[in-house]
Homo-oligomer: A and B are copies of this chain.
Amino acid sequence: MKKESAIVLLSGGQDSTTALFWAKKIFKKVIAISFDYGQKHKIELNAAKKIAKIAKVKHIIIELKEFKKINESALIKRKMSITKKHKFDKNLPATFVPGRNIIFLTVAASFAWVKRIKNLVIGVSQVDYSGYPDCRKDFIKAIEKSLELGLDYKIKIYTPLIDKKKKDIVLLAKNLGILNLMKDTYTCYKGGKKPCGKCPACKLRQKGFKEAGILDPLYFKK
């Protein structure tokens, strides 16, 4: 595998950062790709930039601003509450951005096609997660097939965290020697300079560090 290249989807959060460093061990060359899709918490993109720099990987940011024109989610619309259920589907959280990972993977795959790269890496998990359908294994398998057929090009999507609990993702970060880097990742949905500690994303992160018996360096950041 060390001969091959991979493109890693990097949001700037804990999971995608862990996936990035996992990919760096597996692949010879890694390129990180981030998306500006009108998310409220721009601070997340700045975290992605910083992490890509520390990881010494090429980083491209794709602007999908008009995506917000058609989309409705508490991660995009300021007035929507982040803790409630989605107004259009009560089985999903308000923070669900419909189509997000589908579009991100498709754009990343188009880029991979142009660069003749055969591997994508995405840090989704279907265990301790927010309940987004586009983080599940069956979706990943389906989109992998769609991309192969639509591009006439076999792309493999790696999901190193898919079966991992948040605790195990923290332990993977420890094994990769990047625990200290977690202070530079951004997880909170609120978009403030400091994490709110109360939103679903902050709580999920706290659960992982607590169960792993490790203090989150994020809360000791100067």
- Using a CB–CB distance below 8 Å, which chain A residues touch chain B? 60, 62-67, 69-72, 88-89, 91-92, 98-99, 101-103, 106-107, 109-111, 113-114, 116, 133-134, 136, 138-139, 142-143, 145-147, 149-153
Contact = CB atoms under 8 A, between A and B. Distances in A.
**Protomer copies:** 2
B106 A99 contact: yes
Contacts of A153: 89, 98
Contacts of A134: 149-151
B139 A149 contact: yes
A98 B151 contact: yes
Contacts of A99: 106-107, 109-110, 113, 147, 150-151
Contacts of A72: 114
A88 B114 contact: yes
A125 to B, nearest CB: 16
Contacts of A133: 149-152
Given A62-B66, A99-B110, A106-B99, A143 B150 contact: yes
B71 A110 contact: yes
27 contacts: A60-B70, A63-B66, A64-B64, A64-B66, A67-B110, A70-B107, A71-B110, A72-B114, A89-B153, A92-B152, A99-B107, A99-B109, A99-B147, A99-B150, A102-B110, A102-B146, A103-B110, A106-B106, A133-B150, A133-B151, A139-B146, A139-B149, A139-B150, A142-B146, A143-B146, A143-B150, A145-B145
